[in-house]
Amino acid sequence: DADVTQTPRNRITKTGKRIMLECSQTKGHDRMYWYRQDPGLGLRLIYYSFDVKDINKGEISDGYSVSRQAQAKFSLSLESAIPNQTALYFCATSESGGLGTEAFFGQGTRLTVV
Protein backbone atom coordinates (compact mmCIF):
# COMPACT_ATOMS: atom_id res chain seq x y z
CA ASP A 1 0.00 0.00 0.00
CA ALA A 2 1.15 3.49 -0.80
CA ASP A 3 2.35 5.68 2.07
CA VAL A 4 0.51 8.69 0.60
CA THR A 5 -2.84 7.94 -1.03
CA GLN A 6 -4.89 10.33 -3.11
CA THR A 7 -8.52 9.85 -4.07
CA PRO A 8 -9.89 9.99 -6.65
CA ARG A 9 -7.12 9.30 -9.18
CA ASN A 10 -9.12 10.80 -12.03
CA ARG A 11 -12.14 13.05 -12.00
CA ILE A 12 -14.16 14.93 -14.57
CA THR A 13 -16.47 17.59 -13.22
CA LYS A 14 -18.58 20.41 -14.58
CA THR A 15 -17.96 24.12 -14.23
CA GLY A 16 -19.47 25.48 -11.04
CA LYS A 17 -19.52 22.19 -9.17
CA ARG A 18 -17.87 21.73 -5.79
CA ILE A 19 -15.29 19.00 -5.66
CA MET A 20 -13.06 17.60 -2.95
CA LEU A 21 -9.75 15.83 -3.43
CA GLU A 22 -8.59 13.73 -0.53
CA CYS A 23 -5.18 12.76 0.73
CA SER A 24 -4.26 10.36 3.48
CA GLN A 25 -0.87 9.25 4.71
CA THR A 26 0.50 6.47 6.88
CA LYS A 27 3.95 7.92 7.42
CA GLY A 28 3.05 9.74 10.62
CA HIS A 29 4.33 13.04 9.25
CA ASP A 30 3.20 16.37 10.64
CA ARG A 31 3.43 18.31 7.40
CA MET A 32 1.19 18.00 4.39
CA TYR A 33 1.05 19.90 1.11
CA TRP A 34 -1.15 20.30 -1.95
CA TYR A 35 0.34 21.14 -5.36
CA ARG A 36 -1.00 21.53 -8.85
CA GLN A 37 0.96 20.83 -11.98
CA ASP A 38 0.26 22.23 -15.42
CA PRO A 39 2.28 21.34 -18.50
CA GLY A 40 5.59 23.22 -18.56
CA LEU A 41 4.94 25.00 -15.26
CA GLY A 42 6.42 22.62 -12.75
CA LEU A 43 4.78 22.17 -9.36
CA ARG A 44 3.02 25.09 -7.72
CA LEU A 45 2.14 25.06 -4.04
CA ILE A 46 -1.54 25.63 -3.24
CA TYR A 47 -1.77 25.14 0.53
CA TYR A 48 0.34 23.58 3.23
CA SER A 49 -0.19 22.50 6.81
CA PHE A 50 2.49 21.98 9.43
CA ASP A 51 0.15 20.34 11.93
CA VAL A 52 -3.54 19.76 12.49
CA LYS A 53 -4.21 23.32 13.68
CA ASP A 54 -2.01 25.01 11.11
CA ILE A 55 -3.15 25.96 7.58
CA ASN A 56 -1.19 28.24 5.28
CA LYS A 57 -1.69 29.62 1.80
CA GLY A 58 0.86 28.74 -0.81
CA GLU A 59 1.70 30.34 -4.16
CA ILE A 60 -1.72 29.94 -5.79
CA SER A 61 -4.50 29.52 -3.19
CA ASP A 62 -7.28 31.53 -4.85
CA GLY A 63 -10.25 29.33 -5.72
CA TYR A 64 -9.15 26.57 -3.34
CA SER A 65 -9.68 25.70 0.29
CA VAL A 66 -8.31 22.94 2.50
CA SER A 67 -9.18 21.02 5.62
CA ARG A 68 -6.81 19.13 7.89
CA GLN A 69 -9.19 16.69 9.50
CA ALA A 70 -6.49 14.73 11.31
CA GLN A 71 -2.75 14.33 11.22
CA ALA A 72 -3.14 11.76 8.48
CA LYS A 73 -5.73 13.53 6.33
CA PHE A 74 -5.58 16.71 4.26
CA SER A 75 -8.35 17.56 1.80
CA LEU A 76 -8.38 20.09 -1.02
CA SER A 77 -11.67 21.62 -2.15
CA LEU A 78 -12.62 23.56 -5.22
CA GLU A 79 -15.71 25.47 -4.13
CA SER A 80 -16.85 26.28 -7.67
CA ALA A 81 -14.69 24.57 -10.24
CA ILE A 82 -13.64 26.41 -13.38
CA PRO A 83 -11.92 25.07 -16.52
CA ASN A 84 -8.53 26.63 -15.76
CA GLN A 85 -8.38 24.45 -12.63
CA THR A 86 -7.94 21.49 -14.93
CA ALA A 87 -4.59 20.10 -13.84
CA LEU A 88 -2.73 17.28 -12.15
CA TYR A 89 -2.89 17.64 -8.37
CA PHE A 90 -0.38 16.17 -5.93
CA CYS A 91 -0.41 15.75 -2.19
CA ALA A 92 2.86 15.44 -0.27
CA THR A 93 4.03 14.89 3.30
CA SER A 94 7.22 15.57 5.18
CA GLU A 95 8.55 15.50 8.71
CA SER A 96 9.04 18.53 10.87
CA GLY A 97 12.17 19.27 12.81
CA GLY A 98 15.77 18.58 11.90
CA LEU A 99 17.85 20.21 9.20
CA GLY A 100 17.31 17.73 6.41
CA THR A 101 14.30 15.73 5.39
CA GLU A 102 12.53 14.52 2.28
CA ALA A 103 8.99 14.82 0.99
CA PHE A 104 6.83 11.90 -0.10
CA PHE A 105 4.25 12.34 -2.82
CA GLY A 106 0.98 10.68 -3.68
CA GLN A 107 0.19 9.24 -7.10
CA GLY A 108 -1.66 12.37 -8.19
CA THR A 109 -5.25 13.24 -9.10
CA ARG A 110 -5.98 14.24 -12.66
CA LEU A 111 -8.85 16.71 -12.58
CA THR A 112 -10.69 17.89 -15.66
CA VAL A 113 -13.24 20.69 -15.42
CA VAL A 114 -15.55 20.90 -18.43
Partner 1 sequence: LAKTTQPISMDSYEGQEVNITCSHNNIATNDYITWYQQFPSQGPRFIIQGYKTKVTNEVASLFIPADRKSSTLSLPRVSLSDTAVYYCLVGDMGGATNKLIFGTGTLLAVQP
Parallel, antiparallel or unpaired: strands 109-113 and 10-13 = parallel
Q: Name, in order, each residue with C-beta under 8 angstroms of 65's C-beta and a sequence gap of 6 or more.
A: 47, 76, 77, 79
Among 20, 43, 52, 55, binds partner 1 (CB under 8 A): 43
Where does this chain touch partner 1 (CB under 8 A) — which range of 19-27, 37-45, 62-70, 74-82?
A: 37-45
Answer for which of 21, 24, 25, 48 binds partner 1 (CB under 8 A) is: 48
108 binds partner 1 (CB under 8 A): yes
DSSP 3-state of 45: strand
Nearer to partner 1, 16 or 60 (CB): 60
Burial of 9 (0-12, 13-18, 19+ CB in 10 A): exposed
Residue 48 CB, nearest distance to partner 1 (Å)?
A: 6
Q: How far is the CB of 16 from partner 1 (least distance, A)?
A: 27
| DSSP letter string, 77-112 | EESS--GGG-EEEEEEEE--SSS----EE---EEEE
Site of interaction with partner 1 (CB under 8 A): 4, 33, 35, 40-45, 48, 50, 56, 58-59, 88, 90, 92, 94-108, 110
